[in-house]
Homo-oligomer: A and B are copies of this chain.
Amino acid sequence: MSFSPLINELVESLTILPGVGRKSAQRMALQLLERNRAGGLRLSAALSRAMDGIVRCRCCQNFAESDYCPVCLTDRRDAEQVCVVETPSDLAAIESAGGFKGRYFVLMGHLSPIDGIGPDEIGLTILAKQVTEGHIKEVILATNSTVEGEATAYFIAQMLANTSALVTRIAHGIPLGGELGYIDGGTLSHAFSGRKPVSND
A-side interface residues toward B, CB under 8 Å? 1-7, 9-10, 12-14, 16-19, 24, 26-34, 36-37, 39-54, 63-65, 69-71, 87-89, 91-92, 95-96, 108
Contacts and interface: CB of A to CB of B under 8 A. Distances in A.
Contact of A53 (B6, B39, B49): B6
Nearest to A109: B34
Nearest to A28: B17
A120 to B, nearest CB: 17
Q: Give the number of times this chain occurs in the complex, counting copies.
A: 2
A27 B33 contact: no
Query: Which applies to chain A's interface (DSSP): helix, strand, loop or mixed?
Result: helix
30 contacts: A1-B96, A2-B70, A2-B71, A2-B91, A2-B92, A2-B95, A3-B88, A3-B92, A4-B54, A4-B70, A6-B49, A6-B50, A7-B54, A7-B88, A9-B50, A10-B47, A13-B42, A16-B39, A18-B27, A18-B31, A33-B63, A34-B108, A37-B51, A40-B47, A40-B48, A40-B50, A41-B52, A44-B44, A44-B45, A44-B48
A65 B5 contact: yes
